[in-house]
Amino acid sequence: MSDVVIVGGGPAGMMAGLLFARAGVAVTVLEKHADFFRDFRGDTVHPSTMEILDQLGLLRRFLGRPHDKLDTARIRVAGAEYTIGDLSHLKTPAPFIAMMPQWDFLDFLRDEAASFPGFHLTMGAPVEAFIEEGGRITGVRLTDDRELRAGKLVIAADGRSSLVRRLGLLDVETLGAPMDVFWFRLPKAHNRGDVLRASVQTGRMVILIDRQTYWQAGFLIAKGTGEIVRARGVEWIRDEVRKAFSDISFPSDSLTKIEDLHLLEVTLDRLIRWHRPGLLAIGDAAHAMSPIGGVGINLAIQDAVAAANILAAPLARGEGVDALLGKVQQRRLFPTRIIQAGQRAAQNAIIGRILGGAPITRAAWPVRMLDRFPLMRRIPGRLIGLGVRRERVRSPLAETQSLDRSSPLPD
């Protein structure tokens, strides 16, 4: 029997699995999909996450995998380009955002975690219920009726539609979001461009992520208007994207089928209490993040580090941790609140207005100021890159597992 069962193999679940196994705790991660290959995921690995990888001796190996580097944030407003963020000055091992498709990042975490004997990952394992005995959560039941007991703890890392929410095990406080996103691929005519581009015009906001062989596009729409926008047809969206990025030539076979448009409903909320005896929620399961700032993955990773810092050593000694679960929430609530407050402010002041049709004739003054004064760009760069209250790995490395994990990559 595993000491810890983790529901969900996203960034939070995989990092928690790696850290608990590294400390000598037997851990099983259950992921409902058969692989990590999904489009609906962010691609950003921020400097704060790379600090964690550095502390684990994994940074060089991580950077050995294909990725792009982004150290400035630019936005196009009403046809003019503005630079609004600079990460290059950050005093951190990797002062840039590594743009890596999330499935590659999760593959990386899986490969690294697999070298710890206590780590088990089961793919294609959808959990449908928690087992409760004597007022404690003691395990999970899969959709095929198999049951898996957890010796000490179940972690819900199953994202914003988490079972703990759907089954009403933990209450949610909704903060609201004024937008949803159509997420789709566009073929590339040329191979290279800026790795991340954003365009804002009256009534329209579009982002493009360069995924080497194609563009991943995010087309923001006002909340709840997905069907209305779909009814306009793919041609309308294609034309809007063309207008947004008139300097990019998209091949004629770009976005031809309505089924290629995937609607992602944006939510911003958090659990009032992240735990109950035997159960802890982390990552989006505890606090669903808006895509603004692209910080959700990194917050999820920081939660995993905090959970391991507080719980891994007692678990490795065979102790119960129910009394410590509140400490994880206490530690992570402050950064979650600050970042969600920032996302909410940006949503209401900027995105809601743009999608509501407020005329955009030029950039707002903060954007113009950031563009004009390079030193000021370091402030958003620091907030996005390093976040608030970043964690340091303090969970132990079990003695039996102290391989030399910091060996450099061969040239």
Ligand X SMILES: Cc1cc2nc3c(=O)[nH]c(=O)nc-3n(C[C@H](O)[C@H](O)[C@H](O)COP(=O)(O)OP(=O)(O)OC[C@H]3O[C@@H](n4cnc5c(N)ncnc54)[C@H](O)[C@@H]3O)c2cc1C
3-state DSSP assignment of residue 62: helix
Note whether 387 binds ligand X by CB under 6 A.
no
Q: Which residues from 126-145 bind ligand X, rule CB under 6 A?
A: 126-127
Note whether 308 binds ligand X by CB under 6 A.
no
CB 364, min distance to ligand X, A: 22
CB 140, min distance to ligand X, A: 8
Specify the residue, 124 or 359, whose C-beta has the smaller distance to ligand X: 124
Note whether 47 binds ligand X by CB under 6 A.
no
Interface residue with ligand X, options 295, 354, 355, 384 (CB under 6 A): 295
Specify the residue, 41 or 378, whose C-beta has the smaller distance to ligand X: 41
**Beta strand 179-187 pairing with 196-201:** unpaired
Nearest to 50 by CA among 396, 385, 335, 394: 385
Note whether 280 binds ligand X by CB under 6 A.
no
Over the window 173 to 192, marking each residue x when it contacts ligand X by CB under 6 A and - when it does not, the resulting string is --------x-x---------
Note whether 329 binds ligand X by CB under 6 A.
no
Note whether 297 binds ligand X by CB under 6 A.
yes
Scanning 67-154, the segments in alpha helix (DSSP H) are 102-113
CB 295, min distance to ligand X, A: 5
- What one-character DSSP code corresponds to residue 391? -
CB 35, min distance to ligand X, A: 10
Interface residue with ligand X, options 6, 10, 138, 381 (CB under 6 A): 10
Tokens of 333: 């609530």
- Confirm if 387 and 298 have CB atoms less than 8 A apart: yes
Note whether 154 binds ligand X by CB under 6 A.
no
Nearest to 347 by CA among 223, 212, 216, 202: 223
CB 406, min distance to ligand X, A: 26
- Confirm if 138 and 132 have CB atoms less than 8 A apart: yes
Specify the residue, 19 or 316, whose C-beta has the smaller distance to ligand X: 19
Tokens of 50: 């790379």
Note whether 362 binds ligand X by CB under 6 A.
no
Specify the residue, 266 or 316, whose C-beta has the smaller distance to ligand X: 266
Interface residue with ligand X, options 4, 19, 22, 42 (CB under 6 A): 42
- Confirm if 225 and 210 have CB atoms less than 8 A apart: no
Sheet with 172-174: strands ordered across: 172-174, 269-271, 287-288
Note whether 85 binds ligand X by CB under 6 A.
no
Burial class (CB in 10 A: 0-12, 13-18, 19+), 141: middle
Q: How far is CA 31 from the centre of its chain?
A: 16
Measured distance CA(297)–CA(160) in Å, rounded: 12
Q: Is the dihedral of CA 246, 356, 195, 76 positive or negative?
A: positive
Q: Which residues from 205-264 bind ligand X, rule CB under 6 A?
A: 218, 264
Q: How far is CA 46 from the centre of its chain?
A: 10
Could you tell me which stretch among 3-11, 114-122, 325-333, 381-389 binds ligand X (CB under 6 A)? 3-11
The values of phi and psi at residue 186, to 5°, are -130, 135
Note whether 306 binds ligand X by CB under 6 A.
no
Burial class (CB in 10 A: 0-12, 13-18, 19+), 408: exposed
- What one-character DSSP code corresponds to residue 374? G
Note whether 43 binds ligand X by CB under 6 A.
yes
Note whether 195 binds ligand X by CB under 6 A.
no
Could you tell me which stretch among 66-74, 243-251, 277-285, 337-345 binds ligand X (CB under 6 A)? 277-285
R_g of the chain computed on alpha carbons:
22
CB 305, min distance to ligand X, A: 13
Q: Which residues bind ligand X (CB under 6 A)?
A: 7-13, 30-33, 41-44, 126-127, 157-159, 163, 181, 183, 218, 264, 266, 283-285, 289, 291, 294-298, 300
